[in-house]
Chains A and B, each alone.
Chain A
């Protein structure tokens, strides 16, 4: 068998391949040769073959069949073999491989080898990729080598110990004795790795941290020597002595000085010295300054020192070197919370960085600028930020827009300024604005009552210019729908009112409906806006026509709306004004969930009397909010307020908390406390034949209660659009010979649900099934938990009052899933 080709020969050959296929062919051929060579157990050329394999591995080809060969090389006596063997192990044999552990014995032997370079190889391999088991096995050897006087081995052992600690933290204790005099070494390699080891131990264990605090004076001394000592050719980098060691010592000092006054005091002077004396013309000096600044900001330094640090960062900002500017911005971002005023002084420089060409710097500058905005500088800052928004890359626009909205909300000096700012964002970065901005803005506009005319006018003008930016179009359509009357009447106070006719407004809105640029959501907004104008404008016929056209639209959402609005015109015209009246002021919610629905939940243990029974009052302010919440906030449709009689709160002792309007006729007996609030499920008051009742016929009815001749059946429907609401209709029938009068049905649900009872059809259950009492219950089940209910029935039968409690557990799964 001819000798396998040399490594460099192979490399040369492979590089001549002109295509990927040619290269693959060469590699496959060589791999086959190598494989057969391995099979022959050839010691002489094993090293060469593995080296070639490693080259091919780097090109991306599989090399797993060489794993065992690496092990054999490691076990060889020749240094060349070991060198390649260990390299192969580090590249091919990480801890995920099965044969990884087979290395342990070899490494153990090599750690005790007579030649330090072999020991070095073993330490290096263990320290780079030793698994936890291996570390456990060999930690003792490493610890031994940590105490050797051979500095070549000692430095490697220290970093190997760091790796062991990272893999098996419990072994940290065993290295403690060996650290005793690590810092008295003169050798910089050992010093450096020792500091790394100490840092690792202090970061992982508060006990170690306490123990090593006493090293602060020694560290300060070493650092001082580094700075004060003259030129040392061995460690010099551009006039600075061993910057790597300096930075590591500064980092260890940071950890030791954190939250400890004495240590911080002890390092004050040296930090000031480093901060003022370090040469800043080259990157290396700035690296040290950077670390110094981080340390100063993190320990309990005196204020003079902190100001010095921030000023260094300020100087960094003016540096020509981009890297340094970037690093300054990142550090300032970290300190802006704690040293806000000091950072404010550099605000103008930071704002200038917004115009930097570098993308990373621009992003940092933007984040920092937002952090610096406050009530005093809002106008100036916003000008700069809006200018930035205009000109920045698209990747920034969404974040910038959100930041502007947030800042404007917090610090707006006036409502008009706020609205102007929003307008500016919508017109410049309109398509990048986040989805939740639209409802937030609508809410803001609604609440700024005195600005309605101004707002709608500006939005209308913006629409005339550009209808491509959907969020802008949506907000504008909504506003025009709400305040179109103000627009047409030319009432604007803030600026010159424009003259516009009803037809022109309707032209614009209809234009949105037909435009290709409008998304389905936008079209929905426009249609609703047009509908709203039917109570504000006089050209009702035109609106009727538009609405009826869209009754046959292909878009299901649009069609549904049009059909409903049509129905409004035809059958429920008397309700139309109330339905479409002006939106009330909305309260701001923090979350999106239906948290504000004003209903109480039933207690699951009715035996615990609830003596504190706060009466709930109608809260119209919450209603529109709830609507937003329920419907996912994307569209806001006018809400009707169905007023219901408020019942006096009971004196307590009521076992079930209930809600809903149980209209009790007749009985002078105090009604069970029924605090009332009618959450505005859309188009509620129209009837219990909702226009959009998507009947899931699949849910079978069930018998909830049947006793003493009274039978109550539940039938189910799902309420659209919120699938979390189950609509249950109860049908109460009476098989006895006497009527059941004063019939009251009450229900309670567990805490995770919310319940609403609507009016019953009557409260007499006629005898002998001659009729029934029906009542609608709506249950909100956001967590999709299993529905359970407790019911309480009271009625008068044959002259005597009857009362009964029952649990209803047999709900069909479809009703709550």
Chain B
């Protein structure tokens, strides 16, 4: 299973953090610090896999954002790259040519999409279309309940 998923910028600013195991707040901060230091310190054309404690760390850079996840030792690293890629594709489909700013200003939506894709550290849906449709329907639910048609709910 995936233990955590982090998104951070080239300057090390955290843009999203998803934890699939209970970790104390202080420990979370430490892990985030460790990950950003390790990943940002990698040479440009290194391989995307690292070892940290007893976890495999898989990371990939998309434009100015680093997607970094920590996996159990038995997980398939190459597939993890595909998982990260799929998440980026989902964001891209939702926001249309997604960039870091989209994720900064709409972080809650990034979480909603992630929660439709992964649950408890495992993939829950493998079809892009099915997933996009669920998100749309949820968004619709939000809109109609608020009775706002064009204004954002908050």
Contact = CB atoms under 8 A, between A and B. Distances in A.
Given A6-B152, A11-B104, A128 B134 contact: no
A127 interface: yes
A155 B125 contact: yes
A55 B23 CA distance: 19
A246 to B, nearest CB: 9
Contacts of A294: 76
A196 B123 CA distance: 9
A444 interface: no
B130 interface: yes
B153 A80 contact: yes
B81 interface: yes
Contact of A322 (B45, B116, B127): B45
A80 B154 contact: yes
A323 B81 contact: yes
B124 A189 contact: yes
* Residue among B112, B128, B141 having the largest count of chain A Cβ atoms under 10 Å: B141
A117 B14 CA distance: 28
B47 A162 contact: no
Contacts of B11: none
B108 A54 contact: yes
B94 interface: no
Contacts of A48: 154
B64 interface: no
Nearest to A152: B134
B9 to A, nearest CB: 12
Given A192-B126, A291-B79, A327-B77, A94 B138 contact: no
A235 B108 contact: no
Interface string B48-63: 1111000000000000
A531 interface: no
A284 B76 contact: no
Given A192-B126, A359-B46, A283 B146 contact: no
B15 to A, nearest CB: 8
Interface in A224-244: 233-235, 237, 242-244
A454 interface: no
A296 B39 CA distance: 33
Contacts of B107: 54-55, 58
A244 B79 contact: yes
A322 B19 CA distance: 28
A123 B16 CA distance: 21
A588 interface: no
Interface string B63-98: 000000000000011110111001000000000000
A192 B152 contact: no
A47 B141 contact: no
Contacts of A247: 76, 79
Interface string B11-50: 0001111011011100001000000000000010111111
Nearest to A323: B47
Contacts of A94: 19, 22-23
Nearest to A356: B47
B145 A287 contact: no
A79 B142 contact: yes
B140 to A, nearest CB: 9
Interface in A1-51: 6-8, 11-12, 15, 47-48, 51
A8 B153 CA distance: 11
Chain A binding surface, main DSSP class: helix
A155 to B, nearest CB: 5
Contact of B126 (A87, A156, A244, A325): A244
Contact of A291 (B47, B76, B134, B152): B76
B150 interface: no
Interface in A355-373: 357-361
Interface residues of A, number: 75
Interface string A647-660: 00000000000000
A129 interface: yes
Contacts of A54: 107-108
Contact of A283 (B19, B81, B122): B81
A670 B81 CA distance: 82
A392 to B, nearest CB: 15
Contacts of B29: 60
Interface in A112-153: 115, 117, 120, 123-124, 127-129, 131, 152
A358 B129 CA distance: 38
Contacts of B22: 94-96, 129, 131
Interface string B109-136: 0011001100110111111111000100
A401 interface: no
B82 A58 contact: no
B82 A124 contact: no
A237 B104 contact: no
Contacts of A291: 76, 79
B105 A162 contact: no
Contacts of A6: 152, 154
B74 to A, nearest CB: 8
A78 B127 CA distance: 29
Interface in A153-167: 155-156, 159-160, 162-163, 166
Contact of A188 (B50, B126, B153): B126
A326 B77 CA distance: 10
B120 to A, nearest CB: 4
A156 B123 CA distance: 10
B129 A234 contact: yes
Contact of B78 (A188, A251, A324, A357): A324
Contact of A117 (B125, B141, B154): B141
A712 interface: no
B137 interface: yes
A219 B130 CA distance: 23
A745 interface: no
Given A51-B108, A129-B22, A159 B120 contact: yes
Contacts of B50: 360
A622 B16 CA distance: 64
B91 to A, nearest CB: 16
Given A166-B120, A286-B78, 8 more contacts: A78-B145, A127-B120, A162-B120, A237-B82, A243-B79, A247-B79, A323-B78, A358-B43
18 contacts: A7-B108, A11-B104, A12-B105, A15-B104, A55-B107, A80-B145, A87-B108, A90-B115, A120-B138, A123-B119, A188-B126, A242-B126, A243-B82, A244-B79, A283-B81, A323-B47, A325-B47, A357-B45
The 5 closest A-B pairs by CB, nearest first: A287-B78, A322-B47, A48-B154, A159-B119, A163-B120
Interface of A: 6-8, 11-12, 15, 47-48, 51, 54-55, 58-60, 78-80, 83-84, 87, 90-91, 94-96, 115, 117, 120, 123-124, 127-129, 131, 152, 155-156, 159-160, 162-163, 166, 188-189, 192-193, 196, 233-235, 237, 242-245, 247, 251, 283-284, 286-287, 290-291, 294, 322-327, 357-361
Interface of B: 14-17, 19-20, 22-24, 29, 43, 45-51, 76-79, 81-83, 86, 104-105, 107-108, 111-112, 115-116, 119-120, 122-130, 134, 137-138, 141-142, 145-146, 152-154
